Copies of this chain bind each other. A is one copy, B any other.
Amino acid sequence: MVELLFFAYRDFTAEPDAILGQIGFGRAHHRVLHFVNRNPGLRVADLLDVLKITKQSLARVLRQLVSEAYVQQTAGASDRRERRLYVTEKGRELAVRLLDLQTRRLAAALKAAGADAERITQTFLLAVIAETDRAEVKRLVSGRRSTVANSDGDGR
C-alpha cells in the first residue's frame, strides 16, 4: 500500500510534469497555477498556508508566472496591501489542460475501482491528511470559499 501510493503519485504527476517541462516550468508552478485557478482572488498569504513553503520559494515561481502572463495580481479592494491573484486566460488554459490530464486519470481509476470508489477513496484520502489540516482542505476543495474566494470581501 505504501508503495502503491508512491507509484500512483509519481505517475499522477508525470504527464503534467512533461508538459510543464516543455515550457520551462516545473511542478512548483503547477501547484501555484492550480490553486489560483481554483480559488480566484487568493492572496499570497493564503497560498503560503496551503502550499506550506516559504515566501521566498513562492516568490520565485510566482514572479515567473506573472511575468509570463499566466497569473495576474491586483491590489485588494478593502486592503490595498494584499495582492489578489487571478489566472489570465492563458493561465486558465494551461491550468485546465493539466487538470484535465489528472482528472481523466483519476476518473478512469475510480471507474476501475467500482461503484462506491469515489466516496470511499475520498474518505480515505481525507483521513490520510493530518487532522489539523482537514478543515482547511475541506474548505479549499468543496467550497471555493469564503476566506479567499470572494474577491471583494475582507477575508480573514
Residues of B contacting A121 in the complex (Cβ-Cβ under 8 angstroms):
1, 113, 120-121, 124
Cβ A1 vs Cβ B122 within 8 A: yes
Q: Tell me the count of chain A residues lying within 8 A, CB to CB, of chain B.
A: 46
- Which of A103, A106, A108, A113 has the largest count of B CB atoms less than 10 A from its CB? A113
Complex CA distance for A148 and B141, rounded to whole angstroms: 42
Q: Which of A106-156 contact B (CB under 8 A)?
A: 106, 108-110, 112-114, 116-118, 120-130, 133, 137, 140-141
Cβ B128 vs Cβ A11 within 8 A: yes
When C-beta atoms are compared, the residue in chain B nearest to A12 turns out to be: B128
Residues of B contacting A126 in the complex (Cβ-Cβ under 8 angstroms):
4, 8
Complex CA distance for A140 and B7, rounded to whole angstroms: 11
List residues of A whose CB falls within 8 A of some B CB: 1-12, 14, 31, 34, 38, 52, 99, 102-103, 105-106, 108-110, 112-114, 116-118, 120-130, 133, 137, 140-141
